Chain A
Amino acid sequence: MMRDITIGQYYQTESVLHRLDPRVKITGTFIFIISLFVAKNITSYAVATAFLTAVILLSRIPFSFIVRGMKAVVIILFITVVFNLFLTPGITFVSFWRFKITYEGLKTAGYTAVRLTYLILGSSIMTLTTTPNNLTDGLESLMKPLKVFRIPVHEIAMMMSIALRFIPILMEETDKIMKAQLSRGADFESGGIIKRSRALIPLLVPLFVSAFRRANDLAMAMEARCYHGGEGRTKMKPLVYRSSDFTAYIVLCLYFALVITAQRVGML
């Protein structure tokens, strides 16, 4: 069950997107997300859809694999849609018992669903085409100006890349501990909230213990390999912009301009 989560995972293949500089991809994702909030009509969404489709095709990652990452957030999506559907005031579309669905609600729910889905798809494309280390390198480089404010940019980036590396390992571990406790008769599924949260103790304690043990081991292994912070460190793969990256920036600008135009002149 834990294997199904693909958010934050890297998908190994060769594509234009894989080769792009992570800074472009991070900026791109950012622009895409903003564009989703700018877009409020069908025309602008059509532009966003076309862009997302093109990006997914360019990534050469099987669509089914990308969609699988959605499974984890389906519940959040569902809740958001339901809230929007029932709680938006406006002209009634249908009503039953105490509930009523309005035209406005229908519209907002629809847009929210699409927006959230696109948002997740867009950011998964970024993580799927960028190795976590590359991603953190990109973030580190983009955040460099923050060093002026004494923000430990390198350390944050290192922490993120380690977290990303250990997510799948800890997921697997959770699965294993859960099965071990189930074998000892643990019951994670029945009872009220209190009983259920208490049932999680046999899962969470071993998980924390294991996470600490791993952290300890890892710290030692890093020290043994001469890690001493970002000072005096070189990079195996320094980030260098190439011509394709500049093209990508131009494409991004064009896309954003197009969304804004579509929003101005489009319908609905």
Chain B
Amino acid sequence: MSIICDHVNFTYSRGTADEIQALKDISFSIGDGEFVGIIGATGSGKSTLIQHLNGLLKATSGHIYINGEDIYDRDYSLKELRNKVGLVFQYPEHQLFEETVLRDVCFGPKNQGLSNTEAEMRAYEALQSVNLMEDCYDVSPFDLSGGQKRRAAIAGVLAMKPEILILDEPTAGLDPEGREEILNLLKTLHDEQNITVMLVSHSMEDMADYAERLLVMDKGRIIMNGNPRDVFLNAELLEKTGLSVPQVTYILRELRQKGFDVDISATTVDEAADSIMRALGL
């Protein structure tokens, strides 16, 4: 499943006093089965961009191709698009509404036109894959804990069997344990089911640990597009846009300044440890 954005522009409240151009000439492509991270300060256009990818917002100009098909073609079905591109919003647990967890997860598949049994099978599968135990399928989603609610909501999107999963800060507001659960879950989905994952996050450390490629946004533009190691080499530029690099990268940069021969492109704890050990000759 591939995505191509070709010179996409988008303006909010066009033709009014508070017209804002939220996306400026966005072009990128994402291949099948990639794990891509999107970083950018608040208000840089990340959320606006991902809402374009499943047709919730329509570009003012430019084209978006999913699997080579132009989604702005007149006979391209938005419903089909939303079946292929699953979008998980920030605080997705705020969308839960059914009486039981299982029925809530069935909502998507049923909208796809599946029968009750089929939808339930899908829901089961999705709930299993987010590691929710069977004893909570028949409970009200409002009785779950914070982390469980979040996972149930993600299952609601997964049950639609999207080929691309896009998530807007799926770990926001969770404690470290909950954060880790969600991130590992995404990794498993990506590795085992070959789902293309696009992840919006504020944590550079998480991005370094999980993403294969990073898109960096600033004021509606994509200013960098590359693998995390290369992106995080540009600490100064990132800081100028209100972002940062992983903590270990800062440590390595400082060590390099003090004359140690460390590799400043390391972004994870293990890589950094290896590099420091080598530099110290241990």
Interface residues of chain A, those whose CB is within 8 Å of chain B, are: 3-4, 62, 64-65, 68, 173, 176-177, 179-187, 201-202, 205-206, 209-210
Bound: A206/B107 CA distance, A: 14
Name the B residues within 8 Å of A64 (CB-CB).
16-17
Bound: A78/B51 CA distance, A: 33
Asked if A184 contacts B94 (CB within 8 A), the reply is: no
Bound: A64/B17 CA distance, A: 8
The 10 A-B residue pairs with the shortest CB-CB distance, nearest first, are A185-B111, A205-B97, A180-B95, A184-B108, A183-B87, A180-B89, A202-B97, A206-B97, A179-B56, A206-B95
Given contacts A184-B157, A184-B160, contact A210 B51 (CB under 8 A): no
Residue from the list A3, A65, A176 in contact with B89, Cβ < 8 A: A176
Name the B residues within 8 Å of A187 (CB-CB).
111
Asked if A62 contacts B17 (CB within 8 A), the reply is: yes
Q: How many residue pairs bridge A and B at CB < 8 Å?
A: 64
**Could you list 20 further interchain pairs (A-B, Cβ under 8 angstroms) beyond the known A3-B13, A180-B94, A202-B107?**
A3-B12, A176-B89, A176-B94, A177-B94, A179-B56, A180-B89, A180-B92, A181-B95, A182-B56, A182-B82, A183-B82, A183-B89, A184-B82, A184-B107, A184-B111, A186-B111, A202-B95, A206-B94, A206-B95, A206-B97
A216 to chain B, nearest CB (A): 13
Given contacts A62-B17, A202-B107, contact A185 B94 (CB under 8 A): no
Asked if B82 contacts A185 (CB within 8 A), the reply is: yes
Asked if A179 contacts B89 (CB within 8 A), the reply is: yes
> For the complex, is B142 an interface residue (Cβ under 8 Å from A)?
yes
Bound: A230/B82 CA distance, A: 51
Name the A residues within 8 Å of B95 (CB-CB).
177, 180-181, 184, 202, 206
B50 to chain A, nearest CB (A): 10
Bound: A173/B91 CA distance, A: 11
> For the complex, is B86 an interface residue (Cβ under 8 Å from A)?
yes
Asked if B112 contacts A185 (CB within 8 A), the reply is: yes
A196 to chain B, nearest CB (A): 14
Which residues in chain B, 89-136, are within 8 Å of chain A measured between CB atoms?
89, 92, 94-97, 107-108, 111-112
Bound: A184/B112 CA distance, A: 9
Bound: A206/B160 CA distance, A: 20
Bound: A181/B111 CA distance, A: 10
Q: Give the size range of B's interface with the partner.
A: 20 to 34
- What are 6 residue pairs bridging A and B, where the CB atoms are less than 8 Å apart in the complex? A3-B12, A64-B16, A68-B16, A181-B107, A184-B156, A185-B83
Interface residues of chain B, those whose CB is within 8 Å of chain A, are: 12-13, 16-17, 51, 54, 56, 79, 82-83, 86-87, 89, 92, 94-97, 107-108, 111-112, 142, 156-157, 160
Bound: A3/B13 CA distance, A: 9
Asked if B157 contacts A183 (CB within 8 A), the reply is: yes
Bound: A202/B54 CA distance, A: 19
Give the secondary structure class of A's interface.
Answer: helix
Name the B residues within 8 Å of A182 (CB-CB).
56, 82
With both beta carbons as reference points, the residue of chain A lying nearest to B54 in the complex is identified as A183
Residue from the list B86, B97, B142 in contact with A183, Cβ < 8 A: B86
Name the B residues within 8 Å of A177 (CB-CB).
94-95
Bound: A186/B92 CA distance, A: 15
B41 to chain A, nearest CB (A): 20
Bound: A52/B92 CA distance, A: 46
With both beta carbons as reference points, the residue of chain B lying nearest to A182 in the complex is identified as B56
Q: Which of A4, A179, A183 has the most CB of B within 10 A?
A: A183
Name the B residues within 8 Å of A173 (CB-CB).
94
A254 to chain B, nearest CB (A): 33
Bound: A184/B158 CA distance, A: 10
A141 to chain B, nearest CB (A): 33
Name the A residues within 8 Å of B142 (CB-CB).
209
Name the B residues within 8 Å of A68 (CB-CB).
16
Name the A residues within 8 Å of B87 (CB-CB).
180, 183
Bound: A209/B13 CA distance, A: 29
Name the B residues within 8 Å of A201 (CB-CB).
97
Q: Which of A3, A176, A184, A202 has the most CB of B within 10 A?
A: A184
Bound: A246/B230 CA distance, A: 68
Name the B residues within 8 Å of A209 (CB-CB).
94, 97, 142
With both beta carbons as reference points, the residue of chain A lying nearest to B51 in the complex is identified as A179
Bound: A64/B97 CA distance, A: 38
Bound: A195/B142 CA distance, A: 25
Name the A residues within 8 Å of B13 (CB-CB).
3-4
Name the B residues within 8 Å of A176 (CB-CB).
89, 94
Q: Which of A179, A185, A210 has the most CB of B within 10 A?
A: A185
Residue from the list A65, A181, A183, A202 in contact with B17, Cβ < 8 A: A65
Bound: A205/B95 CA distance, A: 9
B131 to chain A, nearest CB (A): 21
Name the A residues within 8 Å of B157 (CB-CB).
183-184
Name the A residues within 8 Å of B111 (CB-CB).
184-187
Name the A residues within 8 Å of B96 (CB-CB).
206
Name the A residues within 8 Å of B83 (CB-CB).
185
Bound: A149/B13 CA distance, A: 47
Bound: A202/B16 CA distance, A: 32
